[in-house]
């Protein structure tokens, strides 16, 4: 049920967004066809989740701020779109467990490591949670860059980078902060290249 609703919604949202923005997707060949994927993107607009959702080749499970799940109709819609709640500004153990389960089940977990939108479009420091997921699972980490701005009928680029090799950091027992920094440097590199 959830997957068919996801596919239906993806088609509808894709039609709407592609009629407003010229969405160009780069690097889809880098996206793993199977297995757990931690998809990490910069965050410049409220439209980022649907834009990444319609351009990624596999269904994505996004963490969404808990407040969205308090809106009666919205909570059912985003729940059927594979989103799950996270409490912002604190360590949310339930959200961390859910994220780990998604990755261990071989699915795609989508995260905006900055935690909130960047007002000036520049990449901000990432939160340690993304490093936690990268170090605690064997999921492939895929960096993603949304290159704006979101302006009607202008090109909006979504760039998927090659999976990041986290093995060395896992072996040397790096901290989640170090892992996050490493991932953010890959997102920054994509932004600079495009």
Asked whether residue 2 carries a pLDDT value surpassing 80, the answer given is no
CA distance 161 to 52: 13
The second-level CATH assignment, the architecture, of 5-193 is 3-Layer(aba) Sandwich (3.40)
Asked whether residue 90 carries a pLDDT value surpassing 80, the answer given is no
Closest CA to 191 of 136, 122, 125, 145: 145
Residues in CB range of 103: below 8 A, 6 or more apart: 36, 37, 38, 109, 133, 137, 139
Query: pTM, whole model, 2 decimals?
Result: 0.94
Phi, psi of 103 (to 5 degrees): -65, -40
Q: What is the pLDDT of residues 8-46, one digit of tens each?
A: 999 999 999 999 999 999 999 999 999 999 999 999 999
Q: What share of the chain is helix, strand, coil (3-state, %, to 5)?
A: 45, 20, 35
Structure tokens at 130: 């993304």
CA distance 24 to 30: 15
Q: What is the pLDDT of residues 102-144, one digit of tens each?
A: 999 999 999 999 988 998 989 999 999 999 999 999 999 999 9
Asked whether residue 1 carries a pLDDT value surpassing 50, the answer given is no
CA distance 52 to 77: 17
Q: What is the pLDDT of residues 49-61, one digit of tens each?
A: 999 999 999 999 9
Q: How far apart are the first and last CA of the chain?
A: 38
CA distance 39 to 160: 9
Structure tokens at 67: 């407040």
Domain ranges for the chain, please list them: 5-193
């Amino acid at each position: 049920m959830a997957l068919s609703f996801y596919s239906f919604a993806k088609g509808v949202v894709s039609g709407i967004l592609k009629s407003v923005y010229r969405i160009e997707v780069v690097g889809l060949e880098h996206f793993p066809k199977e297995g757990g994927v931690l998809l990490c993107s910069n965050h410049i607009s409220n439209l980022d989740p649907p834009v990444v959702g319609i351009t990624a080749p596999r269904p994505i499970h996004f963490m969404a701020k808990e407040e969205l799940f308090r809106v009666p109709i919205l909570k059912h819609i985003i729940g059927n779109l594979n989103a799950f709640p996270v409490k912002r500004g604190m360590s949310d153990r339930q959200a961390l467990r859910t994220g780990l389960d998604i990755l261990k089940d071989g699915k795609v977990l989508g995260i905006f490591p900055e935690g909130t939108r960047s007002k000036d479009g520049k990449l901000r420091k990432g939160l340690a949670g993304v490093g936690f997921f990268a170090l605690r699972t064997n999921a492939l980490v895929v960096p993603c860059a949304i290159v704006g701005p979101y302006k009607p009928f202008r090109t909006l680029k979504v760039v998927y980078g090659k999976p990041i090799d986290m093995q060395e950091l896992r072996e040397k027992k790096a901290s989640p902060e170090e892992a996050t920094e490493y991932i953010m440097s890959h997102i920054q590199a994509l932004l600079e290249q495009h």
